[in-house]
A and B are shown apart, each in its own frame.
Chain A
C-alpha cells in the first residue's frame, strides 16, 4: 500500500495552529506518511510542529462558514487545534489523518521507515539480554538455571525464548506446569534478593477449575524455591471473589491443601476497561476548564486513578515486605500474569533493589519485567485517554506503573538516578515512537517482525551521553537501602508532569529545576577546583620538603 493513496491533500497554506500557553502560529500544513507537519512562514523564528500520526488518539472537526477546525487529541494527552481555510481541504486533511493514525499493519508503522540521524554507539537490542541477567544471578547462587524450553515460543507464546527456573526442575516438568497455567505461563524467576536469598517469581493463574485440578510438578516447582522449613507467600492480584469466579472458567488459585507451605494473600488490582475508563475520566477532569474547586476534587475522586495507584503500590510494598522483612519467597500472579502481576513484580524490585533505581537498571527492569515478560504493549497502548473505540484490550497498565514509580521518586527524590522526564519519555514512546522497542505484544511477535534488524531500539538512542544528560537526576546520591514508600492518601499525588502537562504553564517549575541544577553544578565545579588546587599545593610542598630534607 502506498501512503500517498491515503493522503488526499498533502499540503495546505495559511493554517493556524493553537496550543495552550503558546501564541497561535500560522503556517503551512503538510502531511507525510507518518507525520503531520506545520511550519510557520515567519523567517525570524520559524516554528515547526512535527506530530507522529501514531500519536493521534482522536480527531474532531468543526466548521464555521468555510473555515474548518480540526481538534487533534494526542496519546501523550496534548490537545491542539488547527484552523484550516476551505471546507474541502479541511475534510481531506481530517480523513487523511484519521486513516494514517489508525493503520492496521504494524509493519507500516513509522519505526519501519525511520532512519536514525545519529551514530549508534551501542545497539540497544543487545543491551539487555536474559543471558547477561543470568550471569549476574549465577555469581550469587547456583540454584537456578536458564531454560531454553520456549525457544520456539511453543510452550508459552508470551514468554521469551529463555527463562530462569529452579535448577532442580527439568524441562519435561516445565512442560506439564505450563499446561497447568493460564497461557502456559509457568512460574519463572522475577527477582533474587541477594540480601537474604529470597526470591520473587511470577506466573499466571493455575487452571484448577471447579473440580480442583492439581499438578504435582507445579507444586514441586514452586516448593523448590523454599528453604527447608520455610514458608512462602502467594500474592494473587485479584480479590478472593474474582479468583473464585475464575474457577468457573477453568482458572483458579492455589488450594491450601496442595500448597501447604504457601500462604495466599489477595490484593485486588483492577484491570482492562476499568483502568481505561479511569484514565479517560481523569484526563477529562484535568481538562475541565471550570472554576469550581469542588467539581475538580470530586472528578478526581470519581476517576479512581489515585485509588488504583494506591492499590498497586500497596500490593508491591507487600511483596517487597514479604521478601525483605519476613524473609519469605513470593509468587505473584493474577489471571494472565501479563498486567497487574508485572506492575507488582517490577515495583517491588524498585523498592528492594537499588540497581533498579539507576537509569541502566531501570531500563533493564522495563525490558525484563515488561517487554520480555510479555506485557501486550501493542494491545494496551493502541489508544489512550481520548479514544472513542470500545475495544476491550486497551488499558494504561504501563502508565500506572510509571505513575507509581513517580510516586516513589517523589517520596525519595535523592534515591533515583533518573528524573521525572525519563518516565514521561517512556510513557510517550510506549504509545507512539520512531523506535521499535514497544512494538508487538511479546518476544514471539517481535522476533517474527524482525524488529532487531528492521527497526532501531529506543535504548540505542536514549543511552547516548548527550541524550542521557536530560534524564539525570541532579539530586541523585546512591542509596543502597530498601526504600519503603508511604501509601497513605496524603502521600499520593496527581502526576502533574503527565496529566497537567498541557494544562498548566510549567515555566516557574522549570526555572526552579534549572536553578537546582545550577546550584549543584556550581558546587561540583568548586569541588573539582579545590581538589586540583590542593593537589597542586601538596606537590609544591613536597617538592619544598624534598629540597629542604634531602
Chain B
C-alpha cells in the first residue's frame, strides 16, 4: 500500500468549530492515524479501516478540503486537509482501504498480540458449545447431538453439530430441511431443564399457499413430544404478518395450523433488515445534529422508530421466555431465513431464562451459540468485505442494545457492565479477532480462522476485571432464575443509549461514573480484606511472642505510607459548554481569573497520566470536554485500549 502522510491537517470538534487541533494524518495498511502537533500532548487518534462505514468529501472551503469519516462504532471524524489534491488522494486511498475484497486483507490476519500457538489455541477453546449443551442437560432422554450435517451436507449455514429430538431420524431431518428456506431445519437453541421446554429455531417453511411436507410435520411433532409435559408447541414467526403472507406468493410462508398437529401459531412483528438499517441511519442523523433542541432530538428519535424496534425484539423475547418458563411450552422460532430476527429473539429469550447467559462467560457462549454457530452472516451484515450495501444491517447491535436495556432495568442481574457490551460491539466490526469473520462456520473452517487469528473472548476474558459489574453478586436475588421485565405500562422503560450511539462524545455523558467508583471501592475492599488478615496474624504473633522484630516494623512503616493515600482520586477537569453564542464576542477572559483551578487540575491529570494512560487521554481541558475520572482499578475510558497494542482507535476523539 501507499503509505500516505499529510501535514497540517485539522481535526475538527464535533460540537464547536472553533476547537480544532492541528496535526499530521497517516494512512497505514490497517489504520488511519492522526497525531496532534502540540508538543506536550501529541495525542493520537487511531481508526481501523474496518471501522469506517462511510467517507464523505465535502466542498472545498477557504481553509481547505473537509473530509468526513463515519465509523461503525459511531465515531465521527471531521478532518480539513489544506490541499485539495491531498484530500483527494486520502479519499481515494481510504475508499479502497475501507473496502477490502479478500478476507486476508482484514486486520485479524496481521494482528499479533504476541501469544504463542498454545495460548492462541487455549483462547479458542475458552468457549465450547458442546460443553454448553452439556450444561443445559443435553444429551438426555429426549435430545441428542446429530451428525447429519457433519460435512455441511444438509445445510451449509448450520454448524456440523446440531441438537435435535431423539425421535427425529436423519430421514425426518433431511426431509424437513428440504421444506425450509436454505435448508435451515428446526434445531435446538435452548433447553430449559427445569420443565423440559425448549426453544428451537429454523427458517420459514416452503409452504406457499398449500404445500405440505410430512417430514417437517413429523419434525415439529418430535419437538413437541420432547416436552412431554405440554400438549402443544408454539410456532413463533417473528415477521410482521403482512411480510409473511407476501412470502407465500414466492412459495415460502408460514405453518398452517391445520396441517401441523397441536401447534399454536403466533406472529410477532419485527421489521426486516432494510427497515432496521434505515432506522439506525435516521437515529444516527439525530445523534449527529449540532446543538439540537429537545424537540429536534425527541422528534428525530421517535421518527427513527429505533426504540420501537428494540421494544418489538424485547416483546418477542419476553413472550418466548414466558411460554417456556411459565407455561412450560416449547417454542419453534423462525423468520425468513432464520439467521437475523430469529437469532435476536432466541438469544434475548435465553438471556431472560438463564442466569448463566448473564455472566461474562455465559454471554460469550450465548453469542457463539445463537449467532456465530447458527450462521448469522457477520460478513454481510457488518460489511467486513466490500459487498452489497443492502445486506448491511445492525442486527446484533440491536441485540446488544436489548441487553443494555435489561441492564438498566435489572442493575444487579448482569455480571458484566456497559463497557463490556460496547467493546463487544466494537470488535464485531473491528475484524481484529477472527471470531466474527465470514458468514458461516463452514466458511470459517475453510479459511482456517482458528489457526490464523486470535479469539476475542480470550482477550476480553484476560481483561475481565475491567468489565465487571460491581453490583453483581452471584447469590443476589436478581441473579437467580428468570428475569421478568415489566410488561405494561412499559414504553418509558426503553431509553436512548447515549453511551453507545454518542459513545465518543464524552461531554454528553455523566461526568462521574458510578460503576467506576464502585469498582474502585470493591478493589480497595479486597485489599483491605487481605491486609486485615495479615495484620491479624501479625498481631496474634506479636501478642504471643512479644518479640521485637525489626523486619515487621519496617514492613509496618510501608503499610502506613499506604494509609496516607486517598482512596479515590476524583479529579474534575471541567469547562463550560457553549451555553450562549453571545459570549463569543466578549473579550476573552482575563488571565488572572480562573486559572488557578485549571492549573491545579492539569497537575492532577499529569499524575494520572503516569498511572493510567487512558484517563489522561480522556481529560481534554480545552476542547470543552467536561471529564471527571473516578480512578478505576485499572481501566481506561470505555475504549478498547491495548487491543491493537497501541492505544488504538479511540480515545482521542472525545471532544464534545
Q: Is A310 an interface residue (CB 8 A)?
A: yes
Say yes or no: B576 contacts A520, CB within 8 Å: no
Determine if B478 and A321 form an interchain contact, defined as CB atoms under 8 angstroms apart: no
- Interface 0/1 of A281-301, CB less than 8 Å to B: 000001111111111111011
* Stretch in contact with the other chain, from B186-194, B326-334, B367-375, B556-564: B556-564
List the B residue with the shortest CB-CB distance to A197: B593
Q: Is the CB of B294 within 8 A of A489?
A: yes
Residues in B with CB closer than 8 Å to A293 are 307-308, 311, 491, 494
Known: A412-B511, A414-B570. A512 touches B411 (CB 8 A): yes
Contact present for B492 and A484 (CB under 8 Å): no
Q: How far is the CA of A99 from the CA of B518 in the complex (A)?
A: 51
Please state if A481 and B576 are interface contacts (CB–CB under 8 Å): no
Distance (Å) between the CB of A57 and the closest chain B CB? 20
Q: Is A490 engaged at the interface, CB distance under 8 Å to the other chain?
A: yes
Specify which of B494, B536, B577 is in contact with A533 (CB 8 Å cutoff): B536
Cβ of B385 < 8 Å from any Cβ of A? Answer: no
Contacts of B524 in A (CB 8 A): 523
Interface CB pairs A-B, < 8 A, 25: A291-B490, A293-B311, A297-B298, A297-B301, A304-B295, A310-B294, A324-B594, A326-B586, A327-B589, A414-B517, A481-B574, A481-B601, A483-B572, A489-B294, A490-B496, A491-B509, A492-B294, A503-B492, A508-B409, A511-B478, A512-B412, A523-B521, A537-B556, A541-B542, A541-B556
Indicate if A488 sits at the interface (CB-CB under 8 A).
yes
Q: Does B535 reach chain A (CB closer than 8 Å)?
A: yes
User: Which residues 517-531 of A have a CB within 8 angstroms of B?
Assistant: 519-520, 522-523, 526-527, 529-531
Q: Contact between A317 and B626 (Cβ–Cβ < 8 Å)? A: no
| Contact B311–A413 (Cβ < 8 Å) | no
Cβ of A519 and Cβ of B521 under 8 Å apart?
yes
Which B residues lie at the A interface, using CB under 8 A? 287, 291-299, 301-302, 305, 307-308, 311, 409-413, 470-471, 473, 476-478, 486, 488-496, 498, 502, 505, 507-512, 514, 517-518, 521-522, 524-525, 528-529, 531-532, 535-536, 538-539, 542-543, 546-548, 552-553, 556, 559-560, 563, 568, 570, 572, 574-577, 579-580, 582-583, 586, 589-590, 593-594, 596-597, 601, 626, 628, 630, 656
Query: Is B579's CB under 8 angstroms from A317's CB?
Result: yes
With a cutoff of 8 Å between Cβ atoms, the chain B residues found around residue A194 in the complex are none
Q: Is A534 an interface residue (CB 8 A)?
A: yes
Task: Give me the interface of A with B, judged by CB distance under 8 Å.
Answer: 195-196, 263, 265, 267, 286-298, 300-301, 304, 306-307, 309-310, 314-315, 317-318, 320-322, 324-327, 410-415, 475, 477, 479, 481-494, 496, 500, 503-505, 508-509, 511-512, 515-516, 519-520, 522-523, 526-527, 529-531, 533-534, 536-538, 540-541, 544-545, 547-548
Chain A residue numbers with a CB within 8 Å of B580 are: 265, 267, 314, 318, 321
Return the contact of B298 from the options A410, A489, A505, A536 (Cβ within 8 A): A489
Apart from A508-B412, A511-B412, list 9 A-B contacts with CB within 8 A.
A314-B580, A327-B593, A415-B512, A488-B292, A515-B473, A523-B522, A526-B528, A534-B535, A544-B548
Whole-angstrom distance from the CB of A547 to the nearest CB of chain B? 7
Q: Which of A288, A310, A314, A496 contacts B489 (CB 8 A)?
A: A288
Max chain A CB contacts within 10 Å: which of B572, B589, B626?
B572
Once A325-B594, A509-B411 are accepted as A-B contacts, the answer to whether A537 and B538 lie under 8 Å apart by CB is yes
B298 vs chain A, min Cβ distance (A):
4
Secondary structure call for the A interface: helix
Contacts of A489 in B (CB 8 A): 292-294, 296-298
Contacts of B412 in A (CB 8 A): 508, 511-512, 515
- What is the CB-to-nearest-CB distance from A202 to chain B, in angstroms, rounded to a whole number? 18
Q: Which of B409, B490, B576 contacts A325 (CB 8 A)?
A: B576
A537 touches B470 (CB 8 A): no
In the complex, what distance in Å separates the CA atom of A289 from the CA atom of B492?
10
Shortest Cβ distance from residue A208 to the other chain B in the assembled complex, whole angstroms? 22
Bound CA–CA A481/B490 (angstroms): 39
Chain A residues in 8 Å Cβ range of B538: 537
Tell whether, in the assembled complex, residue B514 and residue A475 are in contact, meaning their CB atoms are under 8 Å apart.
Answer: yes
Contact partner, A531, options B492, B509, B563, Cβ 8 Å: B563
Do A504 and B493 touch (CB < 8 A)?
A: yes
Those 4 A-B pairs whose CB atoms lie nearest each other, nearest first: A489-B297, A296-B491, A512-B411, A297-B302
- Pick from A301, A487, A508, A534: contact of B579, CB below 8 A: A487
Residues of B within 8 A of A310 (CB): 293-294
Smallest beta-carbon distance B109→chain A, Å: 37
Given contacts A286-B492, A523-B521, contact A318 B579 (CB under 8 A): yes
Shortest CB-to-CB span from A449 to chain B, Å, is 40
Q: Is the CB of A496 within 8 A of B492?
A: yes
A477 and B535 within 8 A (CB): no
- B491 lies within 8 A of A292 (CB): yes
Given A410-B510, A482-B574, A489-B292: A291 touches B556 (CB 8 Å cut-off):
no
Using Cβ atoms and an 8 Å threshold, which residues of chain B touch A487? Answer: 577, 579
The residue of chain A having its C-beta at the shortest distance from the C-beta of B302 within the complex is A297
With a cutoff of 8 Å between Cβ atoms, the chain B residues found around residue A300 in the complex are 298
A484 with B626: CB separation less than 8 A? yes
Contact A307 B293 (CB under 8 A): yes
Instruction: Let me know if B498 and A491 touch, CB within 8 A.
Output: yes
Q: Whole-angstrom distance from the CB of A486 to the nearest CB of chain B?
A: 5
A504 lies within 8 A of B525 (CB): no
Residue on A with the closest CB to B546?
A: A544
Cβ of B442 to closest chain A Cβ, rounded Å = 38
Q: In the complex, A547→B546 CA distance in Å?
A: 10
Does A523 contact B528, Cβ atoms closer than 8 Å? yes
Query: How far apart are the CA atoms of A75 and B505 in the complex, in Å?
Result: 38
User: Are A540 and B539 closer than 8 Å at their CB atoms?
Assistant: yes
Closest residue of A by beta carbon distance from B502: A490
Determine if B512 and A325 form an interchain contact, defined as CB atoms under 8 angstroms apart. no
Q: How far is the CB of B233 from chain A (nearest CB, A)?
A: 26
A500 touches B492 (CB 8 A): yes
Choose one: A321, A500, A516; the contact of B471 (CB below 8 Å).
Answer: A516
Q: Are B583 and A321 in contact (CB under 8 A)?
A: yes
Minimum CB–CB distance from A542 to chain B (whole Å) comes to 9
**A263 to B585 Cα, complex, angstroms:** 11
A400 to B539: give the CA distance in the assembly, Å.
57
A307-B295 contact, Cβ under 8 Å, with A325-B576, A327-B589, A413-B510: yes
If A523-B528, A530-B531 touch, whether A326 touches B512 (CB-CB below 8 Å) is no
A475-B514, A484-B576, A547-B548 known; A529 and B532 CB under 8 Å?
Answer: yes
Q: How far is the CA of A481 from the CA of B411 in the complex (A)?
A: 30
A289 with B489, Cβ < 8 A, contacts A326-B583, A414-B517 known? yes
Measured CB to CB, the closest approach of chain A to B566, in angstroms, equals 9
Chain A, Cβ-Cβ closest to B471: A515
Residues of A within 8 A of B568 (CB): 477
Docked Cα-Cα span, A529 to B572, in Å, equals 31
Q: Which residues of A contact B508 (CB under 8 A)?
A: 486, 488, 490-491
Bound-state CA distance A509–B411 (Å) is: 7
Shortest CB–CB separation between residue B315 and chain A, in angstroms? 8
Q: How far in angstroms is the closest Cβ of chain A from B495?
A: 7
